[in-house]
Structure 1
């Protein structure tokens, strides 16, 4: 059983899959805040934990909304897999968003 399946089962066992998705969104922002704090304070363990927490929260949110998280990830990857662009000041800018002077 992969970790995503374990997360889903954990959520079902605790009836989180039927809970209010609005509350899960609040939890997502809480976890993103912890990730931002970890980044700001250069705390690698907090960063790793927070990234994991964000994934757990998104997995549970997808259950609550009746959406398959794996399908979401596949859709996102399909959208970016052939994307071209450039790094500008440490940020990847997709080709469609580049201005004439950036190219």
Structure 2
């Protein structure tokens, strides 16, 4: 199996080779993430598992490139987000988690 960190580096190199990762393309990549998100929602609504998997992967590629453009570490963003939620208390209502501080 390919290491996740290796894949991130490969995506960043791929973006560099195609000049996608240039900082002036940040807005375009943000819009691309919106496009991929729309495809994910379509996959969920229409129950298309292959499109769902493709959309999840595409969104990660775009988010890696966005982080590269913005000068932040993609894996660190994930670690930081997990640290915020790992001990969060709350409850789930209608399939949505509501954190304790919002109740």
Q: How does the TM-score come out when normalised to structure 1?
A: 0.88
Alignment of 1:3 with 2:25, yes or no, is: no
Alignment of 1:92 with 2:97, yes or no, is: yes
Per-residue deviation, 1:68: 1.1
Per-residue deviation, 1:42: 0.6
Alignment of 1:82 with 2:77, yes or no, is: no
The structure that has the greater radius of gyration is 1
Distance 2:21 2:72 in 1: 11
Per-residue deviation, 1:48: 0.8
Deviations 1:27-61 (A, max 9, x none): 01100000010011011111111011111000001
Alignment of 1:13 with 2:11, yes or no, is: no
Question: What pairs up with 1:46-65 in 2 under 5 angstroms?
Answer: 46-65=51-70
Stretches of structure 2 lacking an aligned partner (at least 5 in a row) = none
Q: How does the TM-score come out when normalised to structure 2?
A: 0.88
Stretches of structure 1 lacking an aligned partner (at least 5 in a row) = 99-103
Aligned residues: 98
